[in-house]
Amino acid sequence: MFHPLVFDNIRVVLEGAVYDRDFEGAITITGRSDVMDMASFHRMFHIEFTLVDRDKSEQAVIAEMHLRTSLADIAAEQLEQPLTEHVGCTICIHFHLPMMNHEDVPQKIRSITTILDDIWGSRPYITQTLKAKVEENRIEWPPKNLRNQVTLDFHRKIDEGNIDDLRFLIDHTVQSLTHLQAFADNDLS
């Protein structure tokens, strides 16, 4: 009989829990994908969402949850061989938020880190990547509009033993989304 991968079990629970939050009216799911990358032989599940009624707004903060597993993890599990130290998946959370004013960017970055540290307790490693769209023949510097991709990386694998933690992870993600949306709204006003 076919035995689902750790990745499949976690993906089903994660996806179901996010859809539960959508059905409750807290968030709106705006995209999802379940990919098998044939070039590097890894699996990735991605689901993105915004706060409810913000999905059409360009000022919306978007949350993305990425679940990945590698060829080594899949092979170790299927062959029942210790090919990796720990069989499991990794999860990263990304937030994409607009930053309309380029002034005092370092302070805004510190404020975002503080907001997330207050929610997550300094647990995930946080990186921020600023992006600016520069159109051909319309070079404007400094740019008026920036996008900040904030990444929360836990630097560890999870497995079925962590399934009960997924609901807390989603709760923290929605709480972070709410606070980051308030921060972005304040920044844009």
Domain presence at residue 59: yes
Q: Are 177 and 50 in contact (CB under 8 A)?
A: yes
Residue 150 lies in a domain: yes
Percentage of the chain with pLDDT > 70? 95
pLDDT digits (tens, 9 = 90+) for 23-68: 999 999 999 999 988 888 889 999 999 999 887 788 899 999 999 9
Residue 46 placed within a domain: yes
Q: Work out how many domains the chain is built from and give that number.
A: 1
Any domain includes 1: no
Terminal alpha carbon distance of the chain: 58
Q: Is residue 28 situated within a structural domain?
A: yes
Give the residue numbers spanning the domain of 57.
6-188
178 within domain boundaries: yes
What's the mean pLDDT in 126-140? 84
In this predicted structure, what is the pLDDT of residue 83? 62
Assess if residue 76 is contained within a domain: yes
Predicted pLDDT of residue 85: 74
Q: What is the pLDDT of residue 84?
A: 64
Of the chain, the percentage scoring pLDDT greater than 90 comes to 61
Q: Could you give the CA distance from residue 12 to residue 19 in angstroms, rounded to a whole number?
A: 11
Within-domain flag for 102: yes
* Sheet containing 27-37: order of strands: 27-37, 42-51, 62-69, 90-99, 146-153, 125-132
pLDDT in tens, 152-179: 999 999 999 999 999 999 999 999 999 9
* Secondary structure of 28-74 in HEC code, one letter for each residue: EEEEEEEEEECCCCEEEEEEEEEECCCCCCCCCCEEEEEEEECHHHH
Taking residues 102-111, report their average pLDDT. 88
Residue 1 has pLDDT above 60, yes or no: no
